[in-house]
A and B are shown apart, each in its own frame.
Chain A
Amino acid sequence: MPYIPHTEKDRECLLKAVGAEKIDDLIAVPENARLKGELKLPKGLTEQELTKALKKKAARNSTVEDYASFLGAGAYNHYIPAVVDSVISRSEFYTSYTPYQPEISQGTLQAIFEYQTIVCQLTGMDVANASLYDGASAVAEAALMARRITGRDKVLLSAALHPEYRETVRSYLHGAGNHVSEVMYCTEAGTTLPEALDAALDKDTACLVIQYPNFFGSVEDLKALADAAHAKGALIVAVTNEAVSFGLLASPGSLGADIAVGDNQSFGNTLSYGGPYLGFMATKTEFIRQMPGRIVGETVDRDGKRAFCLTFSTREQHIRRERATSNICTNHGLCALAASVHMVSLGEVGLRRLALLNLSKAEYLKKALANVSGVEVAFSSPTFNEFTIKISKAPEEVLKGLLKKKVMGGLALKRFYPEMNTKEEMDSFVDALSKISG
């Protein structure tokens, strides 16, 4: 049997040691609960057969390299340097678990401590946790956290927040009686509508959630929105799911965010059909006891040497049970390591350059597409690396046409995304679109 080392002799020896004649004597399950018969599963495979079977499955998928892909919307195809997989493939990292025993987990602990620091640097916040599942669940956790901090119920979501994120917040908040409402976006600017905000914000509002840059790719005026929320005593939750934008845009913290959350998938994590990605959360020092998730702190060992360990554990479920800040236990540690390695190998200069490259490509494509007849840029607000266009024809049909030319043009909700796309690819995309659309 694969992965089970016992020889027949071992089994006999072990059975004898435990005083059983056969394995069934050991299974302390009442007869009425035993499975009759065998599991109806395919027969086991050799490693070679398995590899073949999985390659066959993989071959039935088209990758973002088989096509020129302009898909984004919360999952971003950036180049991942080879160092990333090299480091996260070290099995001392990936075959360990939560660092409960700090003396033999200093590697994981120091790596998380460094990651927490990098998240703080990018978001301009004071403290960050070790990770959450993904951007969507991180927003839900932030909304719950804002309710605990303010003692208020209402959660206001910008309608320009990723729809799947909004849906996640609603599901998470069912248990807490919901209280979720949305603020419209300006159909001209593509950003959260300030007028709608004035009416929606009140003394029961726990937080206003703004995506920055938002779902349409537009860069929100976070500062003004934060001021409006703060004037009513509400917190502002800034959500960033294209983390490369941190290389160019002012940090959420510097614009007044109280909680910065989002997804760091863009750094070091493959698309992998939607997961695992990397939820992050950072906040102000004063709110730390309300922050969910693991936190690593620096301390010393018995000899006074620098050491790291999990801390603030009393917020967590294994100690506080139903009164914990969250139920989260296993998080996305290895994804955080991948993101760290990617960012570290870029450095500040590299990160800024990467962000500029993304901006430049988006601008190039935006201008080119705007010249195609039947195509218009949907919103007037500045964008970072994705943007929305309006097409006079039915978008679904246009996208189908593009697929024939080996272009994944975006989603029917029309988001487009650059860096991995060469000028050539973008030009042929424009060309293909002009043929279909024109």
Chain B
Amino acid sequence: MNDNGIKGLLLDEPLIFERSSVGRMGVAPAEFDIPEADPKGLLPAGLLRDRIDGFPEVSEMDAVRHYTRLSQWNFGVDSGFYPLGSCTMKYNPKVNEALCRLPGLSMIHPYEPEELVQGALELMYELEEYLAEISGMDAVTLQPSAGAHGELCGLLMMAAYFKDKGKARTKIIIPDTAHGTNPASSHLAGFKVVPVKSEGKGALSVDAIKAVMDEDTAGLMVTNPNTIGLFEKNIKEIAKVVHSKGGFLYCDGANLNALMGLVNLGSIGVDVIQFNLHKTFSTPHGGGGPGSGPVGVKKALEPFLPAPRVKKSRGKYSLEYDRPKSIGRLKAFYGNFSIMVRAYAYIRRMGGEGLKRASETAILNANYIKERLKDTYHLAYNEPCMHESVFSDKNLLGHGVTTLDVAKRLIDYGFHPPTVYFPLVVHGAIMIEPTETETKETMDRFVEAMKAIAEEARTNPELLKNAPTKTKVRRVDETRAAREPVLRWVKK
């Protein structure tokens, strides 16, 4: 345990505004090669702006130092093990970063004539095909910007389908283990959420769905593998129930990393799925985005996909805008293209065989951690898991120690904590997703740290309560942040 969580030199750094000096400039804009216009002569006085009070003004080097120091207070996948359950913090390949910056991919304008962007359209067309193949869907849109955006897209298509058939449906079934985005997206799409409880071993039962599925219900939205890390083993029968009432099965693809090359979601009854390119397909999480959330659908929903669609005809690619049944669009232009480039590069690099190996290895690694920790931490469901497993703080509560304390202590050991307090159905949940890109040695070190922390909880709980101690700041006062909000800097 001697190679993690050692102290380094962290430099303090004020807010950029506090470094500012009036009139200083970093990088000057281009020189004027045309006459300078007089704004006062061109625009009414009331529409011209005064000084921008307190706007940061620093030298180029000070700007660089500022952000470099800030970056050093962060922990990323490149810093160390980041087993954030449900977020699939796998390695972000560097070649993808280089490729999406090629001028031919980064310096193209969305309104260029189609004949000048054939490479971009071809890339999108092929990526759609790959995602369709991986999921077993018939058609894919790349437009949505993130997972939740994709959910909204899928749900709006379902709503549009029933409206088109002449009978709008008002409800959607969502299990209690779902991500919060599912009910939020459903509400936004105009559906009333019908919650359904997962049973005993964290799985959905056919009967539970039968009891609520009716002809006023647009369908079931299910995460598979679910948020407990288990494959919904009744999924095929559940799909039949949903279909028998004319509904659709929406699969939240947040956990697709467990299924590539192993399960054909289309053939088991899934009708709609969103892909989180920033999870399964290795694109970086960016400190909170940008991600990308393409959506795949079966034939019946294809007419409702957002416009435009990429079409191929006699070797030429074009954008099809005329789609009378389309739900319209969810953003300007065609989607987060530079994220698509990264995901495309990832899929091409891996190939079908590599993707399957990725999912298999993600499952192997998760099971390894589960097996090695299950005697130390309480395992919420003792079942073979998929790509992640869920523990809880049940064994530790007697020592006055909670999940939060374990998470904070892990930081001192040099690890990013797992997802905590989610899913809500497990009290004090600790959700661990190692991903396929971690070595056995890294996982072993993590397991040892977790065990050492459990021991500390018994012998010296104060160590946990005080953690973390090696970070830039110690535990922060979130109550104060909410009670006395300071949401921006203001010039004194």
Chains A and B share a contact (CB less than 8 Å): yes
Task: Determine if A111 and B67 form an interchain contact, defined as CB atoms under 8 angstroms apart.
Answer: yes
In the bound complex, how far is the Cα of B123 from the Cα of A55, in angstroms? 12
Q: List the one stretch of A196-204, A229-237, A310-318 in contact with chain B.
A: A310-318
Assess the B73–A106 pair: CB atoms within 8 A.
yes
Q: Are A334 and B287 in contact (CB under 8 A)?
A: yes
Q: Across the interface, do B351 and A87 meet the contact criterion of CB distance under 8 Å?
A: no
* Binary B-proximity of A260-271 (CB < 8 A = 1, otherwise 0): 000100000011
A96:B74 contact, CB within 8 angstroms: yes
Q: Are A26 and B30 in contact (CB under 8 A)?
A: no
**Which listed residue (A30, A334, A346, A356) contacts B290, Cβ 8 A?**
A334
**Interface presence of A121 (CB below 8 A):** yes
Who on chain B is nearest to A306 by CB? B473
Q: Are A63 and B107 in contact (CB under 8 A)?
A: yes
Q: Which residue of B lies closest to A130 (CB)?
A: B288
- Chain A residues near B181 (CB, 8 Å)? 317-318, 327, 329
Instruction: State which residues 97-114 of A face B: CB under 8 Å.
Output: 97-108, 110-114
B288 touches A1 (CB 8 A): no
B contacts with A, residue count (CB < 8 A): 208
Q: A175-B159, A299-B486 are in contact. Are A44 and B354 (CB under 8 A)?
A: yes
Task: Give every chain B residue within 8 A of A227 (Cβ-Cβ).
Answer: none
- Please tell me if A394 contacts chain B, counting CB pairs below 8 Å: no
Contacting pair B102 A327 (CB below 8 A):
no
Whether, in the assembled complex, B56 has its beta carbon less than 8 Å from a beta carbon of chain A, the answer is yes
Closest to B124 in A: A273
Q: Interface segment, B76-84, B393-401, B452-460? A: B76-84
Looking at the assembled complex, report how far the CB atom of A61 sits from the nearest CB atom of chain B, in whole angstroms: 4
CA distance A106 to B25 in the complex (A): 26
Within 8 A of A (CB), among B34-89: 34-37, 39, 42-44, 46-58, 60, 63-64, 66-79, 82, 84, 87, 89
B8 located at the interface, meaning its Cβ lies under 8 Å from any Cβ of chain A in the complex: no
Does A171 touch B at the CB level, under 8 Å? yes
Q: For residue B486, which residues in chain A have a CB less than 8 angstroms away from its CB? A: 297-299
B333 touches which of A2, A273, A296 (Cβ 8 Å): A273
Query: Does the CB pair A411–B76 fall under 8 Å?
Result: no
A377 within 8 Å of B (CB atoms):
no
Q: CB distance B146 to A96 under 8 Å?
A: no
Report A22-60 CB contacts with B as 1/0, cut-off 8 Å. Answer: 010011111011111011111111010011011111111
Q: Which residue of B lies closest to A86 (CB)?
A: B64
Does A151 lie at the interface of the complex (its beta carbon under 8 Å from any beta carbon of B)? no
Picked from B44, B78, B236, B487, the residue with its CB within 8 Å of the CB of A33 is B236
Interface centre among A340, A346, A424 (most CB of B within 10 A): A346
On whether the beta carbons of B84 and A273 are closer than 8 Å, the reply is no
Q: Report which of A58, A103, A108 forms a contact with B473, defined as CB distance below 8 A.
A: A103
Minimum CB–CB distance from A418 to chain B (whole Å) comes to 9
Among B446-492, those with CB < 8 Å from A are: 468, 471-478, 480-482, 485-489
A-side contacts of B306, CB under 8 Å: 171
Taking a contact as CB atoms closer than 8 A, the residue among A20, A97, A133, A255 that contacts B146 in the complex is A133
Which residues on the B side are within 8 Å of A1 (C-beta)?
350, 353-354, 357-358
Contact status B286-A272, CB under 8 Å: no
**CB-based contact B103/A58 at 8 Å:** yes
**In the bound complex, what is the Cα–Cα distance between A97 and B284 (angstroms)?**
8
Q: Is the CB of B145 within 8 A of A137?
A: yes
A35 to B43, CA, bound (A): 65
Q: For B111, B350, B351, which residue has the most chain A Cβ atoms within 10 angstroms?
A: B111
Q: What's the Cα separation between A299 and B117 when bound, in Å? A: 48
User: What residues of A have a CB within 8 angstroms of the CB of B64 in the complex?
Assistant: 83, 86-87
**Which residues of B are found within 8 Å of A423, using beta-carbon distances?**
33-34
Q: How far is the CA of A318 from the CA of B183 in the complex (A)?
A: 10
A364 contacts B35, C-beta separation under 8 Å? yes
Chain A residue numbers with a CB within 8 Å of B439 are 5-6, 10
Q: Which of A11-19, A152-160, A181-189, A429-437 contacts B (4 or more CB under 8 A)?
A: A11-19
The listed residue with most B CB atoms (<10 A of its CB), out of A23, A30, A319, A322, is: A322
The verdict on A371 contacting chain B, using a C-beta distance below 8 Å, is: no
In the complex the two chains form, is B363's CB within 8 Å of A26's CB? yes
A255 to B416, CA, bound (A): 45
> Residue B188 at the A interface, CB < 8 A?
yes
Question: Out of B24, B287, B436, which one reaches A333, CB within 8 Å?
Answer: B287
With known contacts A111-B67, A350-B26, A58–B104 Cβ distance under 8 A: yes
Map CB proximity to A onto B327-339 as digits: 1 under 8 Å, 0 otherwise.
1111111111111
Known contacts A41-B351, A61-B119, A322-B193; A333/B286 CB under 8 A = yes
- Listed residue (A26, A38, A364, A399) with the most chain B CB atoms within 10 angstroms of its CB: A26
| Contact A350-B25, Cβ < 8 Å, known A65-B103, A96-B75, A330-B146 | yes
For residue A294, CB closer than 8 A to chain B, the reply is: yes
In the assembly, what is the distance between CA of A330 and CA of B287, in Å?
9
Q: In the docked arrangement, what's the CA distance between A188 and B92, Å?
A: 52
In the bound complex, CA of A75 to CA of B46 (Å)? 27
B312 within 8 A of A: no
| Residue pair A327, B152 in contact (C-beta under 8 Å) | yes
| B133 touching A39, Cβ below 8 Å | yes
Taking a contact as CB atoms closer than 8 A, the residue among B34, B79, B111, B329 that contacts A364 in the complex is: B34
Find out whether the CB atom of B149 lies under 8 angstroms from the CB atom of A107. no
- In the complex, what's the smallest C-beta–C-beta distance from A110 to chain B, in angstroms? 6
Given A57-B105, A65-B107, A135-B332: A350 and B146 interface contact (C-beta under 8 Å): no
Which of chain B's residues 148-165 have a Cβ closer than 8 Å to chain A?
A: 148-149, 151-152, 155-156, 159-160
Q: Which residues of A contact B25 (CB under 8 A)?
A: 346-347, 349-350
A54 pairs with B288, CB closer than 8 A = no
B221-253: which residues lie under 8 A (CB-CB) from chain A?
230-231, 233, 235-236
> What is the bound-complex CA distance between A128 and B43, given in angstroms?
28
Q: Are B235 and A103 in contact (CB under 8 A)?
A: no
Residues of chain A contacted by B352 (CB below 8 angstroms): 38-44
**Contact digits for A307-351, partner B, Cβ 8 Å, 1 yes 0 no:** 111011000111111111011111111110100110111111111
Known: A4-B437, A223-B46, A275-B335. A172 touches B188 (CB 8 A): yes
| Cross-chain contact B411 with A114 (CB below 8 angstroms) | no
Contacts of A17 in B (CB 8 A): 368, 371-372
Q: Which residues of B contact A33 (CB under 8 A)?
A: 231, 233, 235-236, 263, 268
| A271 in contact with B108 (CB, 8 Å) | yes
Interface contact A15-B364, CB-CB below 8 Å: yes
Q: Check if A165 sits within 8 Å of B107, measured CB to CB.
A: no
Let me know if B314 is at the binding interface, CB within 8 A. Answer: no
Q: How far is the CB of B438 from chain A (nearest CB, A)?
A: 7
From B208-216, B294-302, B382-390, give the one contacting chain A: B382-390
**CA of A23 to CA of B359, assembled, Å:** 11
The complex places the Cα of A260 from the Cα of B24 at a distance, in Å, of 28
Check if B233 sits within 8 Å of A62, measured CB to CB.
no
**Across-interface contacts of B478 in A (CB, < 8 A):** 102, 299, 309, 311
Tell me if B330 and A172 are in contact (CB < 8 A). Answer: yes
- Assembly CA distance A64 to B351 (angstroms): 32
- Cβ contact of A96, chosen from B112, B190, B287, cutoff 8 A: B287
The answer to whether A221 touches B287, judged by C-beta atoms less than 8 angstroms apart, is no
For A321, list chain B residues within 8 Å (CB). 180, 183-184, 193
Instruction: Give, as a whole number of angstroms, the nearest-CB distance from A299 to chain B.
Output: 4
In angstroms, Cα B356 to Cα A65, docked, is 40
Q: List residues of chain B with CB within 8 A of the CB of A223.
A: 46
B264 interface residue (CB < 8 Å to A): yes
User: Any chain A CB within 8 A of the CB of B23?
Assistant: yes
Cβ–Cβ contact B332 & A165, under 8 A: yes
Inter-chain contacts of B407 with A (CB < 8 A):
101
> Is A92 part of the binding interface, using a Cβ–Cβ cutoff of 8 Å?
yes
5 more CB-based (< 8 A) A-B contacts, given A93-B286, A94-B286, A222-B47 = A58-B119, A92-B71, A104-B73, A317-B180, A422-B33
Question: Top 7 closest A-B pairs, CB basis?
Answer: A58-B104, A274-B333, A44-B351, A175-B190, A60-B119, A334-B286, A345-B26
**5 cross-chain CB contacts under 8 A:** A27-B360, A96-B287, A272-B108, A346-B26, A351-B55
